[in-house]
Amino acid sequence: MSIFQLSITELAQGLRDGEFSSVELTKNYLERIKQHPELNCFVTLTEDHALSAANLADQRLANGTAEILTGIPIAQKDIFCTLGVKTTCGSKMLDNFIAPYNATVVEKLNASGAVMLGKLNMDEFAMGSSNENSYYGPVKNPWNTQTVPGGSSGGSAAAVAARLIVATTGTDTGGSIRQPAAFCGITGLKPTYGRVSRYGMIAYASSLDQGGPMARSAEDAAILLQSMAGFDPKDSTSANTPVPDYRADLNKPLDGLKIGLPKEFFTADLNSDIAATLEKAINEFTKLGATITDVSMPNLQMAIPAYYIIAPAECSANLSRFDGVRYGYRCANPANLADLYTRSRGEAFGTEVKRRILIGTYALSAGYYDAYYLKAQKVRRLISDDFKKALAEVDVLMGPVTPSTAFDLNEKSNDPIQMYLSDIYTIAINLAGVPAMSIPAGFVDNMPVGLQIIGNFFAEDRLLNIAHQFQQVTDWHQRTPKGFE
Ligand code: GLN
């Protein structure tokens, strides 16, 4: 089997058995990445950094201090600050920004010996569902390059699907790990809000943003999350809750597992072939000993309108720091300070980012605050209560990740509402703060379909266990797009 098909565990074994060194592995992966510029997954390749990290990893492997990730090639979504390396967040605004420090996630993955090969393309400031909002151009879906990979972590998902890298990081504010994972046929996990530090992860909507792993399998995602998760005093919303051993329970049988199916997830909005595919997948769980009950979560339908007040409100505040003074792009020859602000922001932000800043500024303005922002916060509480109630009756919820498979490039780029609706099944989870996964569950017209598994706060270990058990009896997660075998 080609080394590009090996999992983290298999690569770790190969490194220990001396079948290849980390330097060899790194060179092979860098070569493969360069062979596929058409996917446009990477904004920056960090070859020198990678080779010196691989060298260090080989030393650790030789002297017995290696961990499971030591020597394994990974890549970071370009939203995570990387010391001395360009960190663009997919924006012209940060095209010249060399981060002066590492995000905690980067620091932790570096410390475990993972070798970062580069920075991955994404929608500008993580706003988008198709990766068409990047200053660096769209990413292509390796299953069909006429289609989008999903967003905003599109580069992360496409790179893993095409086997350009073993595993990557992503971030998820309203679906940006799960939706691209579903479109590209990979495994993605959005952890509980606060599980993974946001320090050094460029902020979009701070009460919703959460980093997480994107990988081929639940086992690989567990390994990555193990390194990423944990309390961080540098992030005031980081949870001071112990991190379990995410691989310890992967093999636990699923007897007695109670699965709830929210009826609001299975409506006419869902493509009927996807519905049939998910039904088959969910049926696998009954064979594994689970029981299924229907649940109702009546407030889910208000998730998109509430999110498109809260997220833009927070982004309008977060993005006010990009003023042409402190960092990033500055316009040429400003006439005065106001001109400097307006032209720097006007020239460097893309259309979608500007749209959100305008919506957010409007929603927060005096006189409108109660009508929009406060109302949206109340709706958020109702949605969150729906999850609490449902998850008191069942162990996990299951449903679709997306209403359709990957759509065509340019299909929705001029219709923001249609674009926003593609996150209809993912956004409520961020509003509630609970963890959720997308796992490969089948194909419709040769395009991957994702199954979403939603758990209670800090039940990442349970989600990974459930996903892993499914992946023991199915091989959807091992399918490789044509031309990338
Ligand atoms: N598509 C959603 C948005 O554009 C979610 C993006 C995300 O999760 N970062 O806001």
Residue 45, domain CATH: 3.90.1300.10
pTM greater than 0.85 (yes/no): yes
Residue 140, pLDDT > 90, answer yes
Please tell me the distance from the alpha carbon of residue 466 to that of residue 281, in angstroms, as a whole number: 12
Query: Are residues 172 and 232 located together in one domain of the fold?
Result: yes
Give the atom of ligand 1 at the shortest distance from the alpha carbon of 129. Answer: 1
91, 112, 152, 153: the catalytic one is 152
Does the residue 400 lie in any domain?
no
Could you tell me if the CB of 173 is within 6 A of ligand 1? yes
Could you tell me if the CB of 126 is within 6 A of ligand 1? yes
Could you tell me if the CB of 174 is within 6 A of ligand 1? yes
pLDDT tens profile 80-117: 999 999 999 999 999 999 999 999 999 999 999 999 99
Give the atom of ligand 1 at the shortest distance from the alpha carbon of 419. Answer: 1
pLDDT tens profile 183-220: 999 999 999 999 999 999 999 999 999 999 999 999 99
Does the residue 449 lie in any domain?
no
Ligand 1 center–CA 466 separation, angstroms: 26
Query: Are residues 253 and 196 located together in one domain of the fold?
Result: yes
- Give me the pLDDT at residue 391, please: 98
Could you tell me if the CB of 423 is within 6 A of ligand 1? yes
Could you tell me if the CB of 314 is within 6 A of ligand 1? no
Could you tell me if the CB of 152 is within 6 A of ligand 1? yes
Ligand 1 center–CA 126 separation, angstroms: 6
- Give me the pLDDT at residue 361, please: 96
Q: Identify whether 422 is preceded by a cis peptide bond (ω within 30 of 0).
A: no
Contact 88, 119 (CB under 8 A): yes
Of 359, 377, 395, the position where a domain reaches its end is: 377
Query: Which of 129, 169, 315 to mutate for ligand 1's pocket (most ligand atoms within 8 Å of CB)?
Result: 129
Contact 124, 132 (CB under 8 A): no
Does the residue 385 lie in any domain?
no
Could you tell me if the CB of 313 is within 6 A of ligand 1? no
Question: Over pLDDT 70: what percentage of the chain?
Answer: 100
Could you tell me if the CB of 133 is within 6 A of ligand 1? no
Helix (H) or strand (E) holding 224: helix 218-228
The H-assigned helical ranges of 394-459 are 416-421, 427-432
Could you tell me if the CB of 176 is within 6 A of ligand 1? yes
Query: Are residues 77 and 153 located together in one domain of the fold?
Result: yes
- Give me the pLDDT at residue 366, please: 85
Q: Residue 470: which domain range?
A: 3-257+455-478
Query: Are residues 360 and 253 located together in one domain of the fold?
Result: no
- Give me the pLDDT at residue 278, please: 98
Ligand 1 center–CA 152 separation, angstroms: 6
Q: Quick one: tokens of 333? A: 């020859």
Query: Which of 79, 91, 173 to mutate for ligand 1's pocket (most ligand atoms within 8 Å of CB)?
Result: 173
pLDDT tens profile 310-347: 999 999 999 999 999 998 999 999 999 999 999 999 99
Ligand 1 center–CA 1 separation, angstroms: 36
Query: Are residues 318 and 252 located together in one domain of the fold?
Result: no
Ligand 1 center–CA 65 separation, angstroms: 39
pLDDT tens profile 236-271: 999 999 999 999 999 999 999 999 999 999 988 899
Query: Which of 127, 354, 415 to mutate for ligand 1's pocket (most ligand atoms within 8 Å of CB)?
Result: 127
Of 377, 401, 428, the position where a domain reaches its end is: 377
pLDDT tens profile 429-473: 999 999 999 999 999 999 999 999 999 999 999 999 999 999 999
Q: What is the mean pLDDT of residues 344-368?
A: 96
Ligand 1 center–CA 204 separation, angstroms: 9
256 contact partners, CB below 8 Å, separation of at least 6: 289, 290, 291
3-class DSSP state for residue 98? strand
Q: How many domains does the chain have?
A: 2
Of 377, 411, 439, the position where a domain reaches its end is: 377
Let me know if 22 is a catalytic residue. Answer: no
Give the atom of ligand 1 at the shortest distance from the alpha carbon of 311. Answer: 10
Query: Are residues 227 and 339 located together in one domain of the fold?
Result: no
pLDDT tens profile 146-163: 999 999 999 999 999 999
Could you tell me if the CB of 128 is within 6 A of ligand 1? yes
Average pLDDT of the chain to the nearest whole number = 97
- Give me the pLDDT at residue 71, please: 98
> What does DSSP say about strands 396-400 and 447-454: parallel, antiparallel, or unpaired?
antiparallel
DSSP code string of 22-41:
HHHHHHHHHHHHHH-GGG--
Ligand 1 center–CA 273 separation, angstroms: 25
Residue 1, pLDDT > 90, answer no
Contact 422, 129 (CB under 8 A): yes
Let me know if 152 is a catalytic residue. Answer: yes
Does the residue 152 lie in any domain?
yes
71 contact partners, CB below 8 Å, separation of at least 6: 11, 12, 15, 21, 22, 25, 54, 57, 58, 60, 61, 113, 115
7, 21, 77, 130: the catalytic one is 77
78 φ, ψ (degrees, to nearest 5): -75, 25
Query: Are residues 113 and 193 located together in one domain of the fold?
Result: yes
Give the atom of ligand 1 at the shortest distance from the alpha carbon of 126. Answer: 9
Residue 43, pLDDT > 80, answer yes
Ligand 1 center–CA 70 separation, angstroms: 32
Query: Are residues 27 and 124 located together in one domain of the fold?
Result: yes
Beta strands in 199-308 (DSSP E): 211-215, 258-262, 291-295
Query: Are residues 54 and 189 located together in one domain of the fold?
Result: yes
Does the residue 407 lie in any domain?
no
Does the residue 447 lie in any domain?
no
Does the residue 415 lie in any domain?
no
Ligand 1 center–CA 49 separation, angstroms: 30
Q: What is the mean pLDDT of residues 407-423?
A: 94
Strand partners, 291: 258
Could you tell me if the CB of 127 is within 6 A of ligand 1? yes
Query: Are residues 201 and 306 located together in one domain of the fold?
Result: no
Does the residue 437 lie in any domain?
no
Query: Are residues 234 and 333 located together in one domain of the fold?
Result: no
Let me know if 112 is a catalytic residue. Answer: no
Contact 89, 125 (CB under 8 A): yes
